[in-house]
Amino acid sequence: MIRFSHFFTLLVFTVVSLFSVTGCGVAMMSDERLARQSKSQFSQMKKKDPVSKNAKYQRMVKRIGKRITDVAKVDVPGTEWEFVVFDKSEPNAFAMPGGKVGVNSGLIELANEDEDEVAAVIGHEVAHVARRHSNKRMSQGVGVALGGIILDTAMRNKSSGDRALARGAYGVGATVGAVLPFSRSQEREADDLGLIYAAKAGYDPRASIRFWKKMQSKSRRKMPQFLSTHPDSGNRINYLESKMPYAMNLYRNAK
């Protein structure tokens, strides 16, 4: 009983501190506040998780990030873009509020170091930030906050990166059950906008289909959990194909 009430107090405190109240009940956390928290999580990750020493990879993601964000013109307050490669073998990438984007070296390898393919993923991640998907998901309510506490507790022994992911980052090729699945509509929105960003930035949009096909066959063979966080990856390819004439037009105009 004591234990429960203690837990309840902790829960209420956490929920209150998680959500800013604006006079009309539980609201979205301010973008600035969320960006600050993400920035500190991201700098923790860079201290604890292996940052890739591959200078070519680091230059590549920074170059792609600059070109994509130049055309995306994201106006979410508190956003300061940063693109970092982590030395991890699973093909994964994530973006956090505040514009912090991580790409695993394994993803660049799966893309055969093809810049257009990596740009497809970075476009998708930038789109999640642009549309404030994390904030929207958190504002869905206490259920998510409670889930966050349980995840934090369950993941005490995991790397700081995995914990940060569990708390509200976005993942492409997300690992384990750590990442709450995105809603299908958020994934679709990120696919759509990401394709447009990459094409406008001068990256061949057809590379997105190439990359997602590789991701799909890899997830079938080795990472069944991928399908639980990205359940519509088959539809994703059909959708991208349907958007290709439009994207190719943007791409040709960008060149």
The residues of the shown chain that bind Zn ion, judged by CB under 5 A, are: 190
Please, which residue, 120 or 190, has the CB nearer to Zn ion? 190
Which residue matches tokens 């994530």?
A: 94
Please, which residue, 32 or 90, has the CB nearer to Zn ion? 90
Please, which residue, 84 or 93, has the CB nearer to Zn ion? 93
Distances (CA, A) of 5 to 55, 145, 146: 52, 17, 15
Which residue matches tokens 């929105």?
A: 189
Catalytic, 82? Answer: no
Q: How far is the CB of 234 from Zn ion (least distance, A)?
A: 15
Separation of CA 100 from chain center: 9
Q: Side by side, which strands form the sheet with 82-86?
A: 82-86, 100-104, 93-96, 170-172
Please, which residue, 26 or 162, has the CB nearer to Zn ion? 162
Separation of CA 31 from chain center: 16
The two tokens of residue 180 are: 């709450």
Q: How far is the CB of 172 from Zn ion (least distance, A)?
A: 6
When CB distances to Zn ion are compared, the closest residue is: 190
Of 115, 125, 187, 189, the catalytic one is 125
Q: What is the 3-state secondary structure (H, E, C) of 34-77?
A: HHHHHHHHHHHHHHHCCECCCHHHHHHHHHHHHHHHHHHCCCCC
Q: How far is the CB of 170 from Zn ion (least distance, A)?
A: 5
Question: Which are the catalytic amino acids?
Answer: 125
